[in-house]
């Protein structure tokens, strides 16, 4: 069909195509469900009545018990099977539609609408002449514990505002235990921690996305980096740029 200016019309004929097929399938399932249940109930009732009436007067009570103990489970099985057949496709379709809808919303959600803004960061900022390797771990722990409520992670930024490392309390605790100390008595520096490859890998496990990215992009970056629990938003997604947003694993887990 063509419209007034000669273009092909996109209006679908409801009597053909997928919509018509779905309508036919729905009608068929409804007919089968009602027909099978109805015929089964009638058939079982007739057979049961014949069996009870055919039994002698002395055996009628025993036959009745035998019929009911055999018929009721059979009837329940029939009804359950039919109901499962009747509703299975609708449930699967509903679940599929819901999943696709969530995926679509995730793709369309910009990170800028859900990220922690830079003004809300709680970080440890290095001075222009500071070297991160020289920072005492006790200072980082104090910074984390001084936050209300206490923070479980602490980004470490350069003087230019780009994030270099993220120290998690679990990483700090594990390192202290490896040194046979506690986080309260630890006298090591960040450089000492970084000298151990396993712990350096943990504090460097951070990702970056641009400010134009969406939630799906952030999740993809986080999943591509081993042990990554933090993704930072920069102007173009480069590590050397100032971080203007922060997406934690717990934050992303709560975004639909």
The token duo for 158 is: 């350069």
The token duo for 254 is: 């709560």
Q: Residue 1: its pLDDT value, please?
A: 45
- pLDDT, tens only, 169-183: 999 999 999 999 999
The token duo for 208 is: 């970056």
Domain positions in the chain are 17-108, 112-254
Selected from 3.40.1010.10, 3.40.50.10540, 1.10.3720.10, 3.10.580.10, the CATH number assigned to the domain covering 112-254 reads 3.10.580.10
Q: How many CB atoms lie within 10 A of CB 209?
A: 24
d(CA 190, CA 195): 9
Q: How many CB atoms lie within 10 A of CB 151?
A: 17
> From first to last of its 256 residues, what are the pLDDT tens digits of the chain?
444 444 444 444 444 555 555 556 667 767 766 776 777 778 777 777 776 777 666 676 777 777 777 766 777 776 777 667 666 666 666 666 666 555 554 457 899 999 999 999 999 999 999 999 999 999 999 998 877 776 789 999 999 999 999 999 999 999 999 999 999 999 999 999 999 999 999 999 999 999 999 999 999 999 999 999 999 999 999 999 999 999 999 999 888 6
d(CA 141, CA 153): 10
pTM: 0.59
């Amino acid at each position: 069909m063509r419209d007034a200016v000669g273009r092909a019309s996109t209006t679908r004929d409801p009597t053909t195509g997928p919509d018509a097929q779905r309508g036919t399938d729905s009608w068929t399932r409804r007919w089968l469900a009602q027909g099978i249940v109805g015929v089964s109930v009638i058939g079982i009732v007739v057979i049961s009545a014949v069996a009870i009436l055919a039994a002698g007067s002395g055996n009628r009570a025993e036959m009745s018990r035998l019929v009911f103990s055999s018929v009721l489970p059979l009837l329940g099985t029939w009804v359950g099977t039919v109901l499962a057949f009747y509703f299975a496709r609708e449930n699967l379709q509903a679940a599929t539609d819901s999943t696709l809808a969530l995926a679509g919303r995730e793709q369309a959600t910009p990170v800028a609408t859900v990220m922690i803004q830079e003004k809300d960061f709680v970080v440890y900022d290095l001075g222009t002449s500071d070297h991160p390797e020289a920072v005492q771990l006790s200072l980082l722990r104090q910074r984390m514990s001084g936050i209300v409520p206490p923070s479980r992670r602490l980004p470490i930024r350069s003087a230019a505002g780009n994030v270099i490392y993220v120290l998690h309390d679990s990483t700090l605790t594990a390192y202290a235990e490896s040194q046979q100390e506690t986080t309260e008595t630890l006298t090591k520096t960040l450089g000492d921690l970084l000298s151990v490859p396993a712990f350096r890998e943990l504090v460097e496990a951070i990702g970056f996305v641009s400010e134009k990215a969406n939630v799906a992009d952030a999740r993809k970056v986080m999943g591509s980096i081993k042990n990554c629990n933090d993704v930072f938003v920069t102007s173009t997604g480069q590590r050397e740029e100032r971080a203007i947003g922060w997406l934690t694993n717990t934050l992303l887990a709560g975004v639909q």
